[in-house]
């Protein structure tokens, strides 16, 4: 039987703060689920189902051998790539070098969290959008600073253009149409 991905599936992923939905290659994804996933930066990844079954005991034995090799584990740790270059001092002041920030694709967005759980639970993200128009619902209060590009927001039926340096505040439980007229770079502040 084919797997079905519906709005309910995507809502569970949003609730769990997941950014990917891995499904089998033949899965049926409803158009509404695709739209909701894209709106929330969730990538739907279709994977080929392997006919080869790996015995669980064989897999565990292989993992034990790899993890018991101290040099292998240390090499893995050393090769983990940081999402950005930064410096800190003993008082926890942190400088993030802007040109080093790596953005990770999340549907039509690219994103990197810079700070998490600061100021009593706020998160600061750096985002890059694609040229796109969509309806967005802000479940939590959000502050947006436009760093590059131009965006159009629908405010009470009136089209309002935001440019580089402009700030936008979205109260909790509001919806608006957003048009990114070009690729834009944004800084967003929101609760985790």
Beta-carbon-side half-sphere exposure of residue 42 (alpha carbons within 13 Å): 25
CB 115 within 8 A of CB 124: yes
Q: The tokens of 159 are what?
A: 């089209």
**CATH fourth-level superfamily of 86-191:** Jelly Rolls (2.60.120.10)
Euclidean distance between CA atoms 165 and 160, whole angstroms: 15
Is pTM beyond 0.85? Reply is: no
pLDDT band per the 50, 70, 90 thresholds, residue 150:
very high
Which of 45-59, 64-78, 115-129 has the weakest average pLDDT?
A: 45-59
What are the extents of the domains in the chain?
A: 4-47, 86-191
92's enclosing H/E stretch is: none
pLDDT band per the 50, 70, 90 thresholds, residue 149:
very high
Taking the alpha carbons of 160, 185, 140, 43 in that order, is the dihedral positive or negative?
positive
pLDDT band per the 50, 70, 90 thresholds, residue 189:
very high
Residue 136: strand, helix, or coil: strand
* Residues in Cβ contact with 157 at an 8 Å cutoff, skipping those fewer than 6 apart: none
* Residues in Cβ contact with 174 at an 8 Å cutoff, skipping those fewer than 6 apart: 137, 138
């Amino acid at each position: 039987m084919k797997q079905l991905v519906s709005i309910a599936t995507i809502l569970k992923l949003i609730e769990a703060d997941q950014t990917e939905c891995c499904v089998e290659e033949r899965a049926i994804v409803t158009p509404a689920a695709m739209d909701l996933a894209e709106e929330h930066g969730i990538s739907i990844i279709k994977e080929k189902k392997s006919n080869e079954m790996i015995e669980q005991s064989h897999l565990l034995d292989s993992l034990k051998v790899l993890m018991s090799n101290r040099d292998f584990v240390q090499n893995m740790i050393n090769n983990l790539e940081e999402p950005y270059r930064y410096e800190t001092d003993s008082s926890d002041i942190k400088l993030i070098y802007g040109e080093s920030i790596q953005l990770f694709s999340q549907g039509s967005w690219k994103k990197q969290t810079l700070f998490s759980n600061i100021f009593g639970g706020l998160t600061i993200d750096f985002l890059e959008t694609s040229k796109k128009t969509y309806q967005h619902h802000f479940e939590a209060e959000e502050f947006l600073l436009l760093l590059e590009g131009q965006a159009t927001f629908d405010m009470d039926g009136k089209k309002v253009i935001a440019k580089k340096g402009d700030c936008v505040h979205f109260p909790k439980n509001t919806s608006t149409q957003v048009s990114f007229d070009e690729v834009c770079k944004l800084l967003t502040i929101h609760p985790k």
